[in-house]
Amino acid sequence: MGEGIASGRARLSRLLSDLKGEGGFAFCVLADAEGFPLAWAPPSSVQAEKRAAVVALIHKMAGEVRRLDLGRPDEITFRDRQGRRLICRPFQVGDRVLILAVLVPGRKCYRLLTRRAIRAIRLVLEN
Protein backbone atom coordinates (compact mmCIF):
# COMPACT_ATOMS: atom_id res chain seq x y z
CA MET A 1 0.00 0.00 0.00
CA GLY A 2 1.64 3.15 -1.19
CA GLU A 3 0.22 5.40 1.52
CA GLY A 4 1.13 3.21 4.45
CA ILE A 5 -0.46 0.24 6.13
CA ALA A 6 -2.49 2.19 8.71
CA SER A 7 -3.92 4.57 6.14
CA GLY A 8 -4.69 1.72 3.74
CA ARG A 9 -6.44 -0.26 6.49
CA ALA A 10 -8.49 2.81 7.41
CA ARG A 11 -9.56 3.22 3.76
CA LEU A 12 -10.45 -0.48 3.56
CA SER A 13 -12.49 -0.26 6.76
CA ARG A 14 -14.39 2.78 5.42
CA LEU A 15 -14.97 0.98 2.14
CA LEU A 16 -16.37 -2.07 3.94
CA SER A 17 -18.49 0.12 6.19
CA ASP A 18 -19.97 1.83 3.10
CA LEU A 19 -20.57 -1.58 1.48
CA LYS A 20 -22.28 -2.85 4.62
CA GLY A 21 -24.56 0.17 4.78
CA GLU A 22 -25.43 0.25 1.08
CA GLY A 23 -26.17 -3.47 0.91
CA GLY A 24 -27.87 -3.77 4.27
CA PHE A 25 -25.42 -6.56 5.09
CA ALA A 26 -25.05 -7.83 8.66
CA PHE A 27 -21.25 -7.52 8.32
CA CYS A 28 -18.41 -7.44 5.80
CA VAL A 29 -14.89 -8.76 6.20
CA LEU A 30 -11.83 -8.72 3.97
CA ALA A 31 -9.45 -11.60 4.68
CA ASP A 32 -6.33 -13.03 3.12
CA ALA A 33 -6.21 -16.55 1.66
CA GLU A 34 -5.37 -17.97 5.09
CA GLY A 35 -8.47 -16.38 6.59
CA PHE A 36 -6.60 -13.65 8.49
CA PRO A 37 -8.87 -10.57 8.62
CA LEU A 38 -7.45 -7.41 7.05
CA ALA A 39 -10.50 -5.18 7.60
CA TRP A 40 -13.97 -5.48 9.18
CA ALA A 41 -17.29 -3.69 9.09
CA PRO A 42 -19.28 -5.51 11.78
CA PRO A 43 -22.18 -4.12 13.75
CA SER A 44 -21.36 -3.32 17.34
CA SER A 45 -23.49 -6.30 18.39
CA VAL A 46 -21.24 -8.83 16.65
CA GLN A 47 -19.17 -10.35 19.41
CA ALA A 48 -15.53 -11.30 19.13
CA GLU A 49 -16.43 -15.02 19.24
CA LYS A 50 -18.73 -14.67 16.23
CA ARG A 51 -16.13 -12.72 14.29
CA ALA A 52 -13.55 -15.40 15.10
CA ALA A 53 -15.97 -18.12 13.97
CA VAL A 54 -16.51 -16.40 10.61
CA VAL A 55 -12.78 -16.00 10.08
CA ALA A 56 -12.25 -19.66 10.99
CA LEU A 57 -14.93 -20.66 8.47
CA ILE A 58 -13.27 -18.56 5.75
CA HIS A 59 -9.91 -20.12 6.63
CA LYS A 60 -11.36 -23.64 6.46
CA MET A 61 -13.16 -22.89 3.19
CA ALA A 62 -9.98 -21.51 1.60
CA GLY A 63 -8.04 -24.60 2.69
CA GLU A 64 -10.67 -26.98 1.33
CA VAL A 65 -10.74 -25.23 -2.05
CA ARG A 66 -6.94 -25.58 -2.27
CA ARG A 67 -7.02 -29.19 -1.06
CA LEU A 68 -9.70 -30.23 -3.54
CA ASP A 69 -7.97 -28.41 -6.38
CA LEU A 70 -11.28 -26.90 -7.52
CA GLY A 71 -9.57 -24.15 -9.42
CA ARG A 72 -10.26 -20.55 -8.59
CA PRO A 73 -13.88 -20.21 -7.47
CA ASP A 74 -15.81 -17.04 -8.22
CA GLU A 75 -17.99 -17.38 -5.15
CA ILE A 76 -18.70 -19.72 -2.26
CA THR A 77 -22.02 -19.43 -0.43
CA PHE A 78 -23.21 -20.78 2.90
CA ARG A 79 -26.91 -20.46 3.76
CA ASP A 80 -28.63 -20.91 7.10
CA ARG A 81 -32.22 -21.94 7.84
CA GLN A 82 -33.28 -18.32 8.24
CA GLY A 83 -32.25 -17.61 4.65
CA ARG A 84 -29.16 -15.58 5.51
CA ARG A 85 -26.20 -16.17 3.20
CA LEU A 86 -22.51 -15.87 3.92
CA ILE A 87 -21.05 -14.96 0.54
CA CYS A 88 -17.29 -15.44 0.09
CA ARG A 89 -15.82 -13.86 -3.04
CA PRO A 90 -12.15 -14.79 -3.58
CA PHE A 91 -10.16 -12.48 -5.85
CA GLN A 92 -6.57 -11.66 -6.64
CA VAL A 93 -4.57 -8.45 -6.12
CA GLY A 94 -1.13 -8.89 -7.60
CA ASP A 95 0.09 -12.24 -6.29
CA ARG A 96 -2.17 -12.15 -3.19
CA VAL A 97 -5.47 -13.99 -2.97
CA LEU A 98 -8.03 -12.18 -0.84
CA ILE A 99 -11.56 -13.05 0.22
CA LEU A 100 -14.39 -10.57 0.59
CA ALA A 101 -17.11 -12.05 2.78
CA VAL A 102 -20.52 -10.50 3.43
CA LEU A 103 -23.45 -11.74 5.49
CA VAL A 104 -26.55 -11.10 3.38
CA PRO A 105 -29.94 -11.12 5.09
CA GLY A 106 -32.92 -12.64 3.26
CA ARG A 107 -33.19 -12.01 -0.44
CA LYS A 108 -31.01 -8.90 -0.60
CA CYS A 109 -28.96 -8.37 -3.74
CA TYR A 110 -25.19 -8.39 -3.31
CA ARG A 111 -23.41 -9.29 -6.53
CA LEU A 112 -23.10 -5.81 -8.09
CA LEU A 113 -22.14 -4.25 -4.76
CA THR A 114 -19.44 -6.83 -4.02
CA ARG A 115 -18.08 -6.52 -7.56
CA ARG A 116 -17.74 -2.75 -7.10
CA ALA A 117 -16.16 -3.23 -3.67
CA ILE A 118 -13.58 -5.66 -5.09
CA ARG A 119 -12.59 -3.08 -7.72
CA ALA A 120 -12.26 -0.41 -5.01
CA ILE A 121 -10.22 -2.75 -2.78
CA ARG A 122 -7.86 -3.42 -5.65
CA LEU A 123 -7.38 0.32 -6.17
CA VAL A 124 -6.55 0.83 -2.48
CA LEU A 125 -4.08 -2.06 -2.37
CA GLU A 126 -2.40 -1.38 -5.71
CA ASN A 127 -1.70 2.30 -4.96
List the domain boundaries for the chain: 5-126
Q: Output the pLDDT for position 102.
A: 92
Q: Output the pLDDT for position 1.
A: 43
Residue 52 to residue 94: CA distance in whole angstroms: 27
Task: Tell me which residues of the chain have a pLDDT lower than 70.
Answer: 1-6, 43-52, 70
Domain 5-126 sits in CATH 3.30.450.30: yes
Give the pTM: 0.82
Residue 94 to residue 49: CA distance in whole angstroms: 31
Question: Do 102 and 40 contact (CB within 8 A), yes or no?
Answer: no
Q: Output the pLDDT for position 73.
A: 76
